[in-house]
Amino acid sequence: MNTLKSFFLFSMITLWCAACDSQGELSEPVILYNQVGYMVDAPKMVLVSPDVTEVIVRNASGREVLRASADAPVYWPLSGDSVRKVNLSAIDVPGQYRLVMNGAEREINVLEQPFTDVAKAAVKAFYYNRSGMAVDSVFGGPWARLAGHPDTIVYVHASAADENRPTGTVISSPMGWYDAGDYNKYIVNSGISTYTLLRALQDFPDYFDQLRIGLPDADSAHPDLLTETLYNLKWVLTMQDPNDGGVYHKLTTLKFEDFVMPHQAVNKRFVVSKSTSATLDFAALAAHSAGILCRYNDLVEMGEEALLKAIKAYDWALKNPDLLYFQPGDVSTGAYDDDVLTDEWFWASAELFLATGDQKYLEAAKSYYQRPSIPGWSQVDALGVLSLLDDVSLKDDVWIHQLKSDFLSLVDELVEVSKTSPYGISLSSFEWGSNSRVANEAMLKLFACKLTGSDDYWHSALSDIDYLLGRNATGYCFVTGFGDKKVMNIHHRPSIADGVVEPVPGFLAGGPNTVVFADCPNAERSLFPAKSYVDLACSYSTNEIAINWNAPLVYLAGGLDALLIK
């Protein structure tokens, strides 16, 4: 049988068996729902399998409050199944409700502000991933752990050596977050992650100013989100070579460490290769943060230093415009290699212009500008656009008008897709970290809502969070520590090695995709990308966590909550 035929047969069997168990008996209907909570004054949608035509909703005292009929089933080629939408928006009183259908029951929560706990946990996750610091039991509960990776003795790798800092030179580069389930620290990925958290702070200041998450270094003068972000920013600023302004691509062991606790992962650490991408991302982040730091008396000096470093980094990039990152032969940790830097040039130029007012950076930004795309570690043009659109002094500028219209047309397209998508999201493909793409799309939608005030945008972002919290083709609530069908086995070294059953909470799992099938050789994996996810620690391609995936979750959960307090 040829591949196409067997794939077709496989799909038919999958469809036919959607409502059967292994013996072909009728099994429970499928119901997919946001397992954390729905917002009271907002659209509420659950998904059911084709066998369900009506859902009865009962309140906590058992009284029927709604009978909602299910829409016609719609097939999604990406999930290989058909689902029906059920609109529960008529529920307008907060509380717990039971959904009853075909003999099965599920409970949903309807709340004024359902996402506060997710927002707090998503910020706290960064604290749990701090390098060079113990997690105290007062703040970390069962996930308390010893400190690892002080990074006060870090070697200059041959790929990064020059006459000022020859191979083997020792430098100090402490603090910062571990990138993900591994223990390394990568500038490219730190750039977007740190920026996204600062963006959340700027876009929803009232909300994040008062959000307290329990940090050992918290104080009343700074929002906790800023305190957490500073922990990484301080590390980022150590990654510049003061001699020439170039920035090391990463701080890493030569190979990934084993699945041990941070203090047991003691292999030598190196700074590897300066690269144009890391240097531009550094310049953008440092320049952007300068503007924020200068608002706090005790951080003014750090802000001024950050700006000087940003300028120096940009100058280095001008002299070394094409130094792409190539993984040295003896290094096998994350590469974050990107060979298209137009967007990094745009972002850095935009931020340097905003921070200095110097027209030369504006001219550069204009020359690199292209219609933005969804943010990702290798795609940062939207970040520059958000910063420019946020600057009130530019709002009458003709070029900025163009940016705004390009940005809104991008978000409008996303919203249109989500309206017709069977699962109510804007994804049309599934990449590594697919859940983060959902969250990043939602971030753009919330920003568009701030720009225009249109409900359509935040409703679509709300549908994205519903997806992440359980209303997806796998039925998992993808944030650790939350949900009825919980993710338990993230590819996260501390969660694997700490002996605690529950994983470290607040992390967004990478999510379904079909990029790598070999990570868990014995696991059954769907061939359909939206279902191709396994909650197994071996599955680094679907079940790792990462700072650039959690940052847009912070923005989304906090942003939605914040919009509701208006």
Catalytic residues: 182, 491, 535, 544
Taking a C-beta distance cutoff of 8 angstroms, is the pair 530, 79 a contact?
yes
In this structure, what is the dihedral angle of CA atoms 180, 184, 189, 193, given to the nearest 10 degrees?
60
Q: Which residue has the tokens 């100090």?
A: 172
Least spacing, CB of residue 442 vs ligand 9MR, in Å: 18
Closer CB to ligand 9MR, residue 180 or residue 350? 180
State the amino acid at position 29 in one-letter form: P
Could you give the angle at the alpha carbon of 131 between the alpha carbons of 128 and 137, nearest 5°? 40
Chain residue at closest Cβ approach to ligand 9MR:
334
Closer CB to ligand 9MR, residue 117 or residue 182? 182
Least spacing, CB of residue 76 vs ligand 9MR, in Å: 23
β-strand partners of 110: 38, 95
Least spacing, CB of residue 339 vs ligand 9MR, in Å: 13
Least spacing, CB of residue 344 vs ligand 9MR, in Å: 16
Q: Which of 200, 177, 207 is nearest to 547 (CA)?
A: 177
Q: Which of 284, 120, 127, 137 is nearest to 196 (CA)?
A: 284
The CA-atom distances, in angstroms, between 196 and each of 123, 226, 547, 555 are 12, 12, 10, 7
Binding footprint of ligand 9MR on the chain (CB under 6 A): 179-182, 256, 334-335, 432-433, 540, 544, 546
> Distance between CA atoms of 267 and 258, rounded to whole angstroms?
10
Q: Which residue has the tokens 């989304």?
A: 556
Taking a C-beta distance cutoff of 8 angstroms, is the pair 99, 56 a contact?
yes
Its sign, for the CA torsion 45, 49, 52, 58, is negative
User: Tokens at residue 432, please?
Assistant: 């590594």
Closer CB to ligand 9MR, residue 139 or residue 270? 270
Closer CB to ligand 9MR, residue 433 or residue 481? 433
Starting at the earlier edge strand, list the strands of the sheet with 74-76: 31-32, 45-48, 81-87, 74-76
Closer CB to ligand 9MR, residue 249 or residue 471? 249
The CA-atom distances, in angstroms, between 50 and each of 28, 30, 44, 104, 456 are 12, 9, 19, 14, 28
Q: At what angle do helices 381-389 and 434-452 cross, to 10 degrees?
A: 20
Closer CB to ligand 9MR, residue 430 or residue 540? 540
